[in-house]
Structure 1
């Protein structure tokens, strides 16, 4: 009889191990697959030859909504099974208040239908990224998943350059920006988007290298750096060096207020010398003295128009993601017709104010600027100060700086927004839980 019991226990144990192995495969495949989807979308290698203005990367496809809706259910279910406590920590006053205000802006939107539709995808993406960082059971597992995803993305992009250069490199025949001819974009719709993601992949490579996978880390750094150079993303390349330089000083600066000054001063300066230059002649004069294009490649006209429009609805904005390309832009004066075709204002902070008003901008700064830095400080003081925390800090800081030149905050499934959220939630969890090796 004891032999039968022992055999039954062995079979039960074997079945349990098999189920756990299946769940491990599901978790890993979900993490890697979702990360690659967030980076390259459902429509990689899009042809730019027959696109109209504003077509690239709009994120309006039904399939995108359906896939991210399904992924939000899957990833949250896996996270609840794996670490329900982590998800519960997201019900903080700051997150709840920010989410509530976004709902208010939908109700008060000039185009509620568009706002509801776009907010629904944004919520799905937020849920996916919040849950995704809870799927790995250890830092070792997370490192291997990030390594596989980074190498897969690089392989996809380089294969595109070799096998389908007309879909991976900007061409002189592209109707929108023929001046970008020769710049690499890989699987992405624009070289600037490719450059920003390659900077993130480079940070991942540094993390992998410091975590012990020397060969994989070095390969990721080399391949991402080469692609970044050939994409000619000057803003991303410059900001990459700035972020690496500033974050290298963190080990010598321990006080939170000093770290805030070092890391956030460039963010303030970027906005003052860009949008501020449109608002103040004194700042404009300083901007003209600097060794770069004082119009920021024509962005000053967009900022001036956006600021003028914002003045009419400072409190509530025009509604979540419902200003550009909507009925809010009409009866344009001569010389401003381009505004009817613009996709965004090339500044995430300004676009947030346009959509959600100054209260929304203040809450976004609290949730995406102040709290992540405080979370890094808490993680550092709690012993979670290894390569993972530094990688997340770099991705977060790069996203903050880049948002002074580009606009991806709250932008549904935009790759930079997707990756930025991973860093924000990763720092949130590291501040509250001890990461297993």
Structure 2
């Protein structure tokens, strides 16, 4: 199982790498926007014109996707891309605003509280992204103040799960996820360093996974938490490597945003924030044939390319002789 799906993951990784080599981050976004927009339109048409085409277990919209949560995650990705798309006129700004309003409406029809929360957070981050261009000392102070507010808030929510879930219209177990997470965490400690093997734990032949499904009373395909999935697949070593690559990418995304003045420079930051959020209640993005993994690879390597190009241009500029000094020397 690990060998088979590992080869699929390798192929998907190469697609993302090829995209990063051939296209800049701006060009990647320009390719992505029409695709995401077309899929969204087709999903709306599916719900309006052929509502019975996809299997529904609830009245919530799921578009042309198998489950409403998958549809919700896709809409959050679409929101991140649409917010990053540059507009150069008042008419374009109006069209972009109307598109975002329509997108939020579709998310609401999908009855996905998580997706709605992701979209709202992405909009707030987009509106406040200018703070990342502040002076470093001021940005550091603002980050410390934000942490002083965020840490108590997280502590309060963790101790009042039922009240927080009620605000989102969810039960305290997050539709059975918390029970699943309890069993998954226990399984992590069986092989904490290197994990059970990529894709092995939730495979059809896994006795451990089948025991968990019988205990929770439903057929869980994954842990519904990307970080638990990474721990089960790769252990502490694997998740450590993943977060190392992630934080390096975040640092480069901030550098690119600070150096650029184009609106689409916010795209890598929005995508990376979306990725860290969506894996809290959904499966890991480290998966073959996944648009999220393709984009993660293309963006992380694209950021490396742009940061390296900026450093090279600065180095060449610094190595050029000072023309005014040279002229003065020649006069003397």
1:407 maps to 2:301: no
Q: Which residue of 1 aligns with 2:307?
A: 431
Equivalent in 95, 101, 110 of residue 231 of structure 1:
110
Aligned length: 299
Change in Cα spacing, 1:295 to 1:304, as seen in structure 2 (3 Å) is same
Query: Contact between 2:196 and 2:234, CA under 8 Å: does it hold in 1?
Result: yes
Deviations 1:13-67 (A, max 9, x none): xxxxxxxxxxxxxxxxxxxxxxxxxxxxxxxxxxxxxxxxxxxxxxxxxxxxxxx
Structure 1 residues 274-299: Cα deviation after superposition (integer angstroms, max 9, x where no partner): xxxxxxxx986443453533312211
Structure with greater contact order relative to length (CA < 8 Å, sep ≥ 6): 2
Secondary structure of 1:290's aligned partner: helix
In structure 1, what is the Cα distance between the partners aligned to 2:50 and 2:173?
Answer: 35
Partners of 1:150 and 1:334 in 2: CA distance: 34
Q: 1:228–1:417: structure 2 CA closer, same or farther, 3 Å change rule?
A: farther
TM norm structure 1: 0.59
| Residue equivalent to 2:227 | 349
Q: 1:290 aligns with which of 161, 164, 167?
A: 164
Contact in 2 for aligned 1:349/1:361 (Cα 8 Å): yes
The 3-state SS of whatever aligns with 1:356 is helix
Aligned to 2:327: none
CA contact (8 A) 1:184 1:230 kept: yes
8 Å CA contact retained: 2:60, 2:110: yes
3-state SS, counterpart of residue 309 of structure 2: coil
Of the candidates 253, 257, 266, which is equivalent to residue 380 of structure 1? Answer: 257
**1:401–1:226 CA distance, 2 compared to 1 (3 A):** same
Q: In the alignment, which residue of structure 2 is the partner of 1:126?
A: 13
Structure 2 residue aligned with 1:205: 82
1:129-148 mapped onto 2 (5 Å cutoff): 129-136=16-23, 139=26, 142=28, 144-148=30-34
Gap regions ≥5 residues in structure 2? 311-332
Over residues 92-145 of structure 1, what are the superposed CA-to-partner deviations in whole Å (9 max), with x where a residue is unaligned? xxxxxxxxxxxxxxxxxxxxxx00111111111111122224434684x55543
1:356 is displaced (CA, Å) by 0.4
Deviations along 1:205-262, one digit per CA (max 9) or x if unpaired, are 2222545544663454244233222111110111221232235334224437568768
Residue 245, structure 1, aligned to residue 124, structure 2: yes
Q: 1:283 to 1:136 in 2, by over 3 A?
A: closer
Kindly provide the CA deviation profile for residues 54-94 of structure 1, in whole angstroms up to 9, marking residues without a partner as x: xxxxxxxxxxxxxxxxxxxxxxxxxxxxxxxxxxxxxxxxx
Structure 1: tracts of 5 or more residues without a match: 1-113, 172-177, 274-281
Quickly say closer, same or farther: Cα 1:266–1:287, change in 2 above 3 A. farther
User: TM-score, length-normalised on structure 2?
Assistant: 0.76
C-alpha distance in 2, partners of 1:144/1:379?
A: 18
1:346–1:406 Cα contact (<8 Å) kept: yes
